[in-house]
């Protein structure tokens, strides 16, 4: 059995999404990440307002592919690049409610990601050398992820 350890909870502010329309790959949208915060036992801080975003692709099978890039700044000043890919899917009525900004029980849909971290900070170098997984939920203001280190 795989064991994990909590790293932090990440809350993102996503005020603006640009809809590029149907491309040969699916419906492409680009979301601006305007900031956020993260907090856990080993690190905490803020998400810088720019650059940061989510290059979303809604596939023909209804799966929303996530491709996110962020810069985290810890409360002690370290900078950490975070990139994650993931997916969200579920019953169409649930996804429609999420699309309208309704609060929906995250047990009704699947939202998972695989974060990768990169930092020059010696204190947080352990982030460069581990595998991480995240479980997400979507609120009207943006997503929230629980990030775990795979032990």
Per-residue pLDDT for 50 more than 80? no
Q: 30-59 burial string, b = 16+ CB within 10 Å, else e?
A: ebbbbbbbbebeebebebbeeebbbebbbe
Residue 16 pLDDT level (bands cut at 50, 70, 90): confident
Query: Could you tell me the CATH number of the domain that includes residue 142?
Result: 2.40.160.20
Q: How do residues 74-130 score in pLDDT, each as one tens digit?
A: 999 999 999 999 999 999 999 999 988 899 999 999 999 999 999 999 999 999 999
CA-based nearest residue to 90, from 65, 104, 108: 108
4, 148, 150, 151 from 1: Cα distances, Å: 10, 15, 11, 11
Coil, helix or strand at residue 40: coil
How many domains does the chain divide into? 1
Per-residue pLDDT for 143 more than 90? yes
Which tokens belong to 121? 């900070």
Average pLDDT across the chain, whole number? 96
Structural domain span for residue 26: 4-150
* Biggest CA pair distance of the chain: 46
């Amino acid at each position: 059995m795989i064991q994990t350890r909590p790293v932090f909870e990440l809350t993102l502010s996503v005020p603006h999404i640009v809809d590029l329309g149907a491309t040969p790959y699916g419906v492409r949208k680009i979301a601006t990440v305007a900031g956020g915060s993260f907090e856990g036992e080993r690190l905490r801080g803020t998400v810088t307002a720019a650059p940061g975003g989510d290059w979303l692709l809604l596939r023909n099978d209804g799966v929303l592919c996530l491709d996110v890039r962020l810069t985290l700044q810890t409360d002690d000043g370290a900078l950490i690049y975070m990139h994650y890919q993931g997916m969200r899917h579920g019953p169409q009525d649930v996804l429609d409610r999420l699309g309208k900004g309704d609060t929906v029980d995250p047990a009704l849909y699947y939202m998972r990601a695989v974060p990768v971290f990169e930092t020059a900070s010696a204190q947080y170098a352990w982030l460069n050398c581990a595998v991480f997984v995240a479980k997400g939920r979507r609120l009207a203001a943006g997503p929230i992820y629980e990030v775990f280190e795979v032990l």
